[in-house]
A = this chain, B = another copy of it.
Amino acid sequence: MSAPAPWVRDDNAALFTDLYQLTMLQAYWREGMNEVAVFDLFSRSLRERNYLLACGLDTVLHFLETLRFTDEALDYLATLDAFEDDFLDDLADYRFAGDVYAVPEGTPVFPDEPIVEVVAPIQQAQLVETFLLNQITYQTNLATKARRVVEAAQGRTIADFGMRRMHAADAPLRAARAGYIAGVHATSNVLAGHLFDIPVTGTMAHSYVEAHDREMDAFRAFAELYPETTLLVDTYDTLDGVRKVVDLAEEWGDAFRVAAIRLDSGDLADLARQSRQILDAAGLDDVQIFASGSLNEYRIAEMVEAGAPIDGFGVGTRLGTIADQPYLDTAYKLCGYAGEGRMKLSTDKSNLPGRKQLYRVMDGETASHDVIALHDEPHDGEPLLECVMRNGERTEAGRQRPLDVLRERTEQRVAQLPDRLRALDEAEEPYEVRLSEGVSSLLDATRDRLEQQMAVE
């Protein structure tokens, strides 16, 4: 096969971009325009969530520090009949050497708040839009959804089982990492386990049971090899499957160490109650019950609130595809160029001009409101945007951290939120985000300037 391997990799990710980023880049290059630009990456709305959990920064920083146009990439661009040879020669030396400000991964954020802010010569800052939006949008959306699932489970174990129906092969890697940061306990995704050092977990499939002539043969063989395994009991008849687990316990006596059973179909809460009775009656009260199958945060909350004796949940498709809100209204917008505020005036898609800082103002232990301020405008509250990259290199704040550190930080940050925001239902009173005087004034001034300019033209 002569075709290149069909994957995104470090050495071709520079081409992971919309064509217009490259044609605009050539236009800036041709016009000699390369003043410093400020771009904010933010979400315009919450889409029925009460907050978003920022995620994806490490992937973005890895991209920015490895971004190169290889000969293969340049050869391809030359075939498009849109780029001049001199431009492509310069592209061979392209490096991202700008500054990046961002909220730490696992920070709750709200509409219009910068999740990432890029400050760089416009030729560098424009090109990276597509990749930054792609990763921050999905990872933030996934982390947000995962946190809802974790909250619904109220301390019970959550395992990510979603890779088989997520959107192609990169999403499951990002989801496993984002989910773990948000509080998910483990993933079935072996490659994510390897690449990101996340705990991996799994049980057995129906096909394993079916391939054996008898269900009991399958249970026996699997538990011999993996004594503390979880046995899947619903292939033929769920309660009958549970009784076979009891039979196995009687047969093996002290050698029986099976940790759990898994229910994957039917009325999970009801089957869990009946299974619990059967297990307890046989003295197997330390055998846990694990449930999976079409779960989301609402179904989990329902079962938890109903007191269903379920110790852990496997959550798949509806988490991994964020089935109820599969995208966020994210944007990467020019806020400043050559020292002046910039913005779009058109009706439904405006943005805030200027370089920014974001402050979280506390009322005791609880977040009271946020303030979007200018970057050099002092304000009460804790500043959330950190400089994570300077001149294209990660700062101390931007260096890669163990996921457990990010996970712990997420826990602390989420604990600061008012209870109404941590509930699954949309809060009647949304969290307040204020604009500072500096941002308000710059917004008015920029709008006035642009409208005057248009009147003159």
Binding site for B on A (CB under 8 A): 1, 3-10, 12-13, 15-24, 26-28, 30-31, 33, 37, 39, 59, 62, 73, 76-77, 80, 82, 122, 126, 129-131, 133-135, 137-139, 161, 163-174, 188-191, 193-196, 200-208, 210-216, 221-222, 225-226, 229, 234-238, 240, 244, 264-266, 317-318, 321-323, 326-328, 330, 332-334, 337, 342-349, 400, 450, 453-454, 457
Contacts and interface: CB of A to CB of B under 8 A. Distances in A.
B450 A236 contact: yes
Nearest to A240: B454
Contacts of A3: 195-196, 400
Given A134-B169, A317-B327, A323-B326, 6 more contacts: A8-B169, A15-B191, A16-B169, A20-B202, A134-B165, A169-B170
Contact of A18 (B7, B20, B188): B188
Say how many copies of this protein the assembly contains. 2
Contact of A20 (B73, B188, B236): B188
Smallest CB-CB A-B distances: 10 pairs: A19-B202, A20-B202, A167-B167, A170-B170, A168-B170, A207-B334, A15-B191, A133-B164, A18-B188, A167-B171
Given A266-B346, A454-B237, A24 B191 contact: no
Contact of A328 (B165, B332, B349): B165
A131 to B, nearest CB: 8
A326 B322 contact: yes
Contact of A138 (B4, B167, B457): B167
A330 B161 CA distance: 15
B344 A23 contact: no
9 contacts: A12-B191, A16-B189, A23-B225, A139-B168, A167-B326, A171-B171, A206-B346, A265-B349, A323-B326
B235 A266 contact: no
A321 B18 contact: no
A226 B71 CA distance: 24
A344 B266 contact: no
B167 A166 contact: yes
Nearest to A58: B6
